[in-house]
Structure 1
Amino acid sequence: MEEQAFVIALVGVLGIGAQWLAWRTGWPAIVLMLAAGFLAGPVFGLFDPETAFGELLEPMVAIGVALILFEGGLNLDLRELRHAGDGVWRLVLFGVPIGWLLGSLAGYYVAGLVWPVAILFGGILVVTGPTVVLPLLRQATIQPRPAATLKWEAIVNDPIGALCAVIAYEYFRLTAETPDATVIEIVPPMIIAVLLAGGIGYAAARLVAWSFPRGVIPEYLKAPVLLTLVVGVFVLSNAIEHEAGLMAVTVMGVALANMNVTSLRSIHHFKENIALILVSGIFIVLSASLDFEELSYFNWRFGLFLLALLFLVRPLTILTSLLFSSVPWNERLFLAWIAPRGIVMVAVSGLFALRLSELGYADGEVLIGLSFAVVVATIVAHGFTVDLVARWLGVKGTSRPGLLIVGSTPWTIALAQEMHSLKTPVMIVDSSWQRLAPARRAGLPYYHGEILNEATEHNLDLTPFQVLVAATENEAYNTLVCNEFAYEIGRDTVYQLGEAASDDDRHAIPPSLRGRALFESGFGVADVNERQAQGWIFRKTRLSDEFKFEDARELLPESGHLLLLLRKDGTLRFFTHASRPEPRPGDTVVSFTPPKSRTADERARDNERGTQTA
């Protein structure tokens, strides 16, 4: 009991610690989690998951993978297929059989596996995995279309790859019992089982879509009921056919994501947190389960197999599947390189390694070590090069942190123009076409729509924007916007203008719901609008080793106010009533000052120049 509690606590510390370290360093999180689990398990022997959890380990990992695939399915919006659909369908219809064939050939001729093991492993190699693809996309900031293609391929092909392995295993198991058995005896029942599992997943999604909005389930039970239902669908579908549960939960997630169930928004962040914890924990547990005996099978042929997988199997699969498609060549080449493998591949490989050994195939024992080698090789190769390759091929999205401004007013338009001149990506959002007219005339990027509308999540790509400023005329609305986006963008990077002048308004809005208040003085909407009408302007000052922040502060008019610091890398740091960023050489200080205002030192220098001229 105490040992299991220690293992659970250690897995949590290592998994979340690796995620935090990845956030701080910019390294791929999956690489750090694999390294942490390998060091804790085989290297230092801190714990052995199989000893700690015994027979519960396999179902724990299986249910964790099911929940991850369901959460990934909830991120798939069918409207994305308007732009990425051609590539996605080709990668599913053509990419799966081509990838299976090429992977099997590489396994037999390069790795030296016997045909049954090579064919089964080739089916597993079809998967890429949302647990590794989605973090890579967040890390590298890829353009929407190739990013959507990779995301859809990862989530849709995960259960398909597992089912390919099931088909191969069932065929070899049946031929071992009945030598004259054929594929026809296996594939049709498998297809029927998969369709039935997909129907169960869709029915479960319809049940949620009907019951949640009608109040059948109370708010505090929605998340537990949904998670329990996902696990139930997975277990029931697996009882029909091995690994069919993965297809069922994926269908359930995708169907639910496209049924416009507004009440799911309340548990959006909960499911994301659950998925993050599961990804961290499963990677730690699986990498800690390795032992050096499994790694001892690794030889030079396996090294060549990894190279063939990276430079032959994946590129040929993608380029062949996308022949005569509308996908541009630079995106095809990018897709041909990026294919990291993840949890599903390791979990399915571990499952079938034991079953193949029971059928008498000696090479089945090498699948666990080889699958981990594939995961490590692909994650390291793609994780550390995705940014560079994306930049080379021109599929890199906006890399500088962007500023999302909610509310089109004279003050926000002036702010957007100033930040636009500093090469900061800016977007002004407003529900009024008329209020957006000045932004359109100024040539500023804008979005006409309600920022809180669920459709905005699909129509407006929020990925480039790491800072939000809510500055409409309505203080309560600004607070609502900041509170809504605090979980997505970050509580410390959502801002609004200061408290309203009215005491009634001030006490009406709890401070815990508000965004960070702009300006050290806590200017409100009325304050900035009044000063904007008086002709106040934004000014920028570049700091250096010679011209320090104190010098810039001295030149600031007494009535002027500091707004933000713009770092060299584009990071925005605002001066607020609660915090002041630390200025550095190379930073640009943006301030809000009266027009044509001059300090005493400036006037003295002007007078001195006038005297010298005379």
Structure 2
Amino acid sequence: MGSTVETIAANNLILIFSTIGITGIVLGRVSEILKIPDVILYLIAGIVIGPAVLNILSIQSFPVENNLILTFGSAFILFEGGKEINLRVLNKVKISVGMLSTVGVVVSAVVVGFVSQKVFGLPIMTALLLGSVIASTDPAALIPVFKQVIIKDKIKQTVVSESAFNDAVGAILVSALLGVVSSGEFSAMDSIKELVVSAGVGILVGVVIGYVLTVFISDKKIGVFHSYAPIVSILQVALSYEIAVALGGSGYMAVFIAGLICGNKKLFGLWIPEYDFQSIHHCSENLSTMSRMAIFVILGTQVDLGVLSKYWAPALLIVLVLMFVARPLSVLVSTAFDKNCKWTFKELLFMMWVRETGVIPAALSGIIVSMKLPGYEIISSVVFMTILVTLIVQASTTKMVAKKLGVLEEEKKELSQVV
């Protein structure tokens, strides 16, 4: 009996992989032709092939496979995002990143929470829980968009770093509020302690795993595994995530920091032989693409059109408040403390516009749905409406908005050539 169950589980994983692979490569090509972000097409495809329409792929029937794909996929994309961050640039914007990742999340959660209380008539703690779930931005959505749209380094690295760090803060805020909603007790000190431990352990594990495994594939005498560089880079993701979680830290923070160390290896005097570096690059590109396909197709399959149709209008109102009130307010409050950055008004406007929502809020929403907390259907509807609207509206207009505001990197290069 056990072997039969295992065979079915293995077949399910192969079926999911095949379906996502075929859907992904076809729509990836379509997105190149239409020049729109591929994640939007993946999300819509997920809705179509999921239980809501054709019911070809029902991920809810395969919770283990679902969690495996979402967890590893988002962790790998986060690792790749970390590799693209330049530590010298990050050092210049560290105050803005720190404030956006903490104060910015709290501002968004509170604004959305109070509006949700009025709109849905929810208890204040449940409304704040809703606000906290959608308060963080999503690197799995932002990084693919920024691969297609070349933004000025300072802005790109601020927004990508914010999205990596604020996932941990958002998850901890949700965890604290879940405790309040389910038990009625709240401890500010416990929540702050949880935040510090989670972030601290994640950073420490990321630094250690990122550095040690990069040394092992470098051209140093100890770099005996450089011919296995692509496999070691995958291990960096798996080990960083698992060790951090086992020690009570943030797995997502750990993989981001490991990627950061790996991407800035020259600062630590490390060099990877050219052939092995190219092997890592090609392997990472393919895994990153597959992860992106899988995550957004799966998110699409989880959309419950029945519940969405019931709450779509008030849910849309909440999304508009998040986009046009909470996000601008959180950017203004967070960057006001960073005088050294000298943010221009156009740069701030662009940062207000890019705040796509995706994997982490969806995962947090899934936890709340599984707990069947009061108001879980409302929270689920708002989360998916936020994912749909921010991806379809904001991700697809990123290049246009960047061009209008003059924050494209290529524009800057063209100007310098003219001058």
Question: When the two structures are superposed, what TM-score results if normalisation uses the length of structure 1?
Answer: 0.59
In proportion to residue count, which structure has more strand? 1
Is residue 2:366 matched to residue 1:350? yes
User: For the pair shown, which has the larger CA radius of gyration, 1 or 2?
Assistant: 1
Q: Deviations over 1:13-37 (max 9, x none)?
A: 1122222211111112111111111
Contact 1:297 1:366 (C-alpha < 8 Å) held by counterparts: no
Is residue 2:56 matched to residue 1:49? no
Counterpart-to-counterpart distance in 2, 1:184 and 1:155: 24
Contact 1:127 1:154 (C-alpha < 8 Å) held by counterparts: yes
Contact 1:111 1:304 (C-alpha < 8 Å) held by counterparts: no
Assess, with a 3 A threshold, how the Cα gap between structure 1 residues 76 and 396 changes in structure 2: closer, same or farther: closer
Contact 1:117 1:364 (C-alpha < 8 Å) held by counterparts: no
Q: Deviations over 1:234-283 (max 9, x none)?
A: 12322343x72112222222233223242273412322221111011111
Contact 1:350 1:367 (C-alpha < 8 Å) held by counterparts: no
Tell which has more relative contact order, 1 or 2 (C-alpha 8 A, sep 6+): 2
Which residue does 2:407 correspond to in 1? 395
Is residue 2:307 matched to residue 1:291? no
Contact 1:163 1:244 (C-alpha < 8 Å) held by counterparts: no
Assess, with a 3 A threshold, how the Cα gap between structure 1 residues 262 and 171 changes in structure 2: closer, same or farther: farther
Assess, with a 3 A threshold, how the Cα gap between structure 1 residues 15 and 294 changes in structure 2: closer, same or farther: farther
Counterpart-to-counterpart distance in 2, 1:63 and 1:320: 34
Assess, with a 3 A threshold, how the Cα gap between structure 1 residues 83 and 216 changes in structure 2: closer, same or farther: closer
Counterpart-to-counterpart distance in 2, 1:344 and 1:199: 22
Counterpart-to-counterpart distance in 1, 2:316 and 2:244: 37
Q: Aligned to 1:103, what secondary structure does the other structure show? A: helix
1:366-381 correspondence runs (5 A): 366-381=378-393
Number of residue-to-residue matches in the alignment: 397
Counterpart-to-counterpart distance in 1, 2:406 and 2:302: 40
Counterpart-to-counterpart distance in 1, 2:230 and 2:46: 30
Counterpart-to-counterpart distance in 1, 2:408 and 2:239: 41
**1:426 Cα shift?**
10
Question: When the two structures are superposed, what TM-score results if normalisation uses the length of structure 2?
Answer: 0.85
**1:208 Cα shift?**
1.4
Assess, with a 3 A threshold, how the Cα gap between structure 1 residues 353 and 4 changes in structure 2: closer, same or farther: same
Assess, with a 3 A threshold, how the Cα gap between structure 1 residues 138 and 206 changes in structure 2: closer, same or farther: closer
Q: Deviations over 1:366-392 (max 9, x none)?
A: 333321110111112213332333333
Q: Which range moved further: 323-332 or 137-146?
A: 137-146
Counterpart-to-counterpart distance in 1, 2:135 and 2:262: 25
Q: Aligned to 2:36, what secondary structure does the other structure show? A: coil
Which residue does 1:538 correspond to in 2? none
Contact 2:202 2:250 (C-alpha < 8 Å) held by counterparts: yes
Assess, with a 3 A threshold, how the Cα gap between structure 1 residues 139 and 239 changes in structure 2: closer, same or farther: same
**1:84 Cα shift?**
4.0
Which residue does 1:592 correspond to in 2? none
Please give the root-mean-square deviation of Cα atoms over the aligned residues, in Å. Answer: 2.8
Paired AA for residue 390 in structure 1? A
Is residue 2:215 matched to residue 1:206? no
Counterpart-to-counterpart distance in 1, 2:293 and 2:385: 19
Which residue does 1:239 correspond to in 2? 246
Which residue does 1:5 correspond to in 2? 14
Contact 1:114 1:363 (C-alpha < 8 Å) held by counterparts: no
Unaligned runs of 5+ in 2: 1-7
1:95-174 correspondence runs (5 A): 95-173=104-182
Assess, with a 3 A threshold, how the Cα gap between structure 1 residues 184 and 232 changes in structure 2: closer, same or farther: same
Contact 1:28 1:136 (C-alpha < 8 Å) held by counterparts: yes
Counterpart-to-counterpart distance in 1, 2:225 and 2:151: 39
Assess, with a 3 A threshold, how the Cα gap between structure 1 residues 255 and 103 changes in structure 2: closer, same or farther: farther
Contact 1:171 1:183 (C-alpha < 8 Å) held by counterparts: no
**1:311 Cα shift?**
1.2
Assess, with a 3 A threshold, how the Cα gap between structure 1 residues 151 and 54 changes in structure 2: closer, same or farther: closer
Q: Deviations over 1:401-454 (max 9, x none)?
A: x9xxxxxxxxxxxxxxxxxxxxxx599xxxxxxxxxxxxxxx888xxxxxxxxx
Percent identity between matched residues is: 23
Alignment partner of 1:221 out of 204, 223, 228: 228
Q: Deviations over 1:494-533 (max 9, x none)?
A: xxxxxxxxxxxxxxxxxxxxxxxxxxxxxxxxxxxxxxxx
Assess, with a 3 A threshold, how the Cα gap between structure 1 residues 185 and 73 changes in structure 2: closer, same or farther: same
Q: Aligned to 1:43, what secondary structure does the other structure show? A: coil
Q: Deviations over 1:300-346 (max 9, x none)?
A: 32121122112111111112222264211111112112211122221
Which residue does 1:79 correspond to in 2? 88
Contact 1:87 1:149 (C-alpha < 8 Å) held by counterparts: yes
In proportion to residue count, which structure has more helix? 2
Q: Aligned to 2:410, what secondary structure does the other structure show? A: coil
Contact 2:129 2:174 (C-alpha < 8 Å) held by counterparts: yes
Unaligned runs of 5+ in 1: 403-424, 428-442, 446-614
Contact 1:141 1:399 (C-alpha < 8 Å) held by counterparts: no
Contact 2:172 2:191 (C-alpha < 8 Å) held by counterparts: no
Counterpart-to-counterpart distance in 2, 1:262 and 1:19: 33
Counterpart-to-counterpart distance in 2, 1:110 and 1:352: 20
Q: Aligned to 1:262, what secondary structure does the other structure show? A: coil
Counterpart-to-counterpart distance in 2, 1:294 and 1:16: 30
